[in-house]
Amino acid sequence: MGKNSEILEIRHRFALLIGVRDYTDPKFRKIPQTVHDVKELDKILTKFGYTVCTLHCDQSEAVKKPTNANIWGELKNIANMTGPGDLLLVYFGGHGTLDSDAAYLVPRDGRKSALRKSAIDLKEFKQEIINADAQVKILILDACHSGIGRDSISMSPEFDQHVFLQAEGTCTLASCRRGEVAYEHDKTKHGAFTHFLLEGLKGAAPRKVDRFITFDDLKNYVTYEVRSWAIKRGLQQWPNAITKGIGDPPLVELIPKPPPTPPEIISPSPTNITKKTIRNKIPWKILIPLIVLAAIIFIGISLGLLNNKMPSNSVGVRSMQLKIERNFNFYLKKGIKEYNNENEEAIDSFKNALEYHPNEPYTLYYLALTYKNLLNDETRAYEYLKKAVENGFRDKERVVNDGFEKFLGIARFRQIFPE
């Protein structure tokens, strides 16, 4: 797992799932299990809070078919939605092949006679994933299928080399090693590799921390189960994984983090009520009608009676969620760029990002940094650092390295990070 095996804090999780069952070129055989694989994976990841985009051959919309153009388009879209602290997972199930010295993933409209023009160059595909702003990038490949008794193409050393050519902050998990093929499971509708991948994500994978299933947990479980399954059938298949420059990213969170405990509110005792306290009592005669009116407006909006732009189905809801994420990441990236250029307008950009995710810890931390380094505002820096920690920011080492302990003083710093 590399030098560092701590579990990282992840803010948002995104997934692009690609399953290619049918090919327009008859030289590529059909792979029946791939659609079942991505549909089930979609259900599981959505349940665990992922924002998921799925391309497969049974999609009714043309833009959701796993063609070359759609794969590139959706990869760029979802990569642009990610930001610091996010996790991006890309899954591909289908054919992988070589042409000269290049490795390719074959989309639905791939042509064997024109791979360079019609297929997905694996090196470029991985580079697009690497270029995303997500903190963690994970690529899962189930790409060298056996064909159940038909001619099978194993993972060649050259293809293997392209699969595991790594960059910092990336994890790759492939269905088999060089010289092997990926078999279909004999008792389910899935490939053997993806069957155990799904089981592991559902909770079968032994885990070192109850709260999470991490990449390491899943990798170890899938590798052991696939290998054992293959040996019992006289086959050879051993999933392979590699990571670089990253800890152990949590793929799913089984037990949500408890919200921070709110500060205790102590009501004034009768003996301590002053004239000022009495003057500041809530004017209930005015407030109650306002509360009732607000409730009526809220119910009206919820039912779509007052706002015909409210989403009326799950597609609309997901569209709204994607729009929120795009806007949030736009302002967050803008703020980071302005901060790096020592532009005080970064404060407005970060605050605009918080309009979409008010308690997002990384954005709160960036605000604290901006107030500290650009405005030398100790009060605001303390306020936003405290909020960031209360909402889940736990990287004390980074906070110290960024100079907050010296800037705030040990006494105030320990109010946020007690010994």
Assign 89 a pLDDT band (cuts: 50, 70, 90). Answer: very high
Mean pLDDT, range 78-94, rounded to an integer? 92
Check residue 183 and report its DSSP letter. P
Burial pattern 367-388, b for ≥16 Cβ within 10 A else e, equals bbbbbbebeeeeebbbebbbbb
Q: Where are the alpha helices (DSSP H) in 146-283?
A: 157-163, 192-199, 215-232, 275-279
**Contact between residue 86 and residue 68 where contact means Cβ atoms under 8 Å apart:** no
Mean pLDDT, range 285-304, rounded to an integer? 60
Q: Does residue 5 have a pLDDT over 90? A: no
Q: Does residue 165 have a pLDDT over 60? A: no
Distance, CA of 155 to CA of 179 (rounded, Å) = 5
pLDDT tens for residues 343-363?
889 899 999 989 988 888 888
Assign 245 a pLDDT band (cuts: 50, 70, 90). Answer: low
Residue 73's alpha-carbon distances to 93, 124, 167, 268, 287, in angstroms, are 18, 13, 22, 60, 51
Better-scored residue on pLDDT, 199 or 275: 199
Better-scored residue on pLDDT, 57 or 179: 57
Assign 312 a pLDDT band (cuts: 50, 70, 90). Answer: very low
Segment 339-345 long-range contacts (CB within 8 Å, at least 24 positions apart): 339/366, 339/369, 339/370, 339/373, 339/374, 342/374, 344/370, 344/374, 344/375
User: Tell me, what's the pLDDT at 399?
Assistant: 86
Distance, CA of 141 to CA of 136 (rounded, Å) = 17
Q: Does residue 3 have a pLDDT over 50? A: no
Instruction: Of 180, 174, 119, give the one whose Cα is nearest residue 142.
Output: 174
Q: Kind and range of the H or E element at 173?
A: strand 170-174
Strand order in the sheet with 96-99: 96-99, 102-105, 120-121
Who contacts 152 (Cβ-Cβ below 8 Å, separation ≥6)? 145, 146, 181
Check residue 361 and report its DSSP letter. H
Instruction: Of 324, 396, 386, 321, give the one whose Cα is nearest residue 353.
Output: 324
User: Tell me, what's the pLDDT at 32?
Assistant: 85
Q: Does residue 392 have a pLDDT over 50? A: yes
Mean pLDDT, range 250-279, rounded to an integer? 51
Radius of gyration of the chain (CA): 26
User: Tell me, what's the pLDDT at 324?
Assistant: 83
Better-scored residue on pLDDT, 165 or 20: 20
Angle at which helix 361-373 crosses helix 314-340, to 10 degrees, equals 20
Q: Does residue 140 have a pLDDT over 70? A: yes
User: Tell me, what's the pLDDT at 187?
Assistant: 81
Distance, CA of 408 to CA of 233 (rounded, Å) = 64
Residues of the chain above pLDDT 70, percent: 74
Range from 1-10, 285-294, 332-341 that averages highest in pLDDT? 332-341
Distance, CA of 52 to CA of 43 (rounded, Å) = 9
Instruction: Of 143, 181, 184, give the one whose Cα is nearest residue 162.
Output: 143
Who contacts 405 (Cβ-Cβ below 8 Å, separation ≥6)? 399, 413
Give the pairing type, strands 13-19 and 102-105. Answer: unpaired
Mean pLDDT, range 174-200, rounded to an integer? 81
Burial pattern 325-355, b for ≥16 Cβ within 10 A else e, equals beebbbbbbbbbebbeeeeeebbebbebbbe
What are the tokens at 332? Answer: 């967050």
Distance, CA of 127 to CA of 150 (rounded, Å) = 33
Better-scored residue on pLDDT, 9 or 280: 9
For the chain, list the domains and their CATH numbers: 13-253 (3.40.50.1460), 325-419 (1.25.40.10)
Better-scored residue on pLDDT, 176 or 327: 327
Of the chain, the end-to-end C-alpha distance in Å amounts to 30
What are the tokens at 145? Answer: 């299928």
User: Tell me, what's the pLDDT at 237?
Assistant: 81
User: Tell me, what's the pLDDT at 310?
Assistant: 45
Assign 177 a pLDDT band (cuts: 50, 70, 90). Answer: low
**Contact between residue 90 and residue 79 where contact means Cβ atoms under 8 Å apart:** no
pLDDT tens for residues 37-82?
999 999 999 999 999 999 999 999 999 999 999 999 999 999 999 9
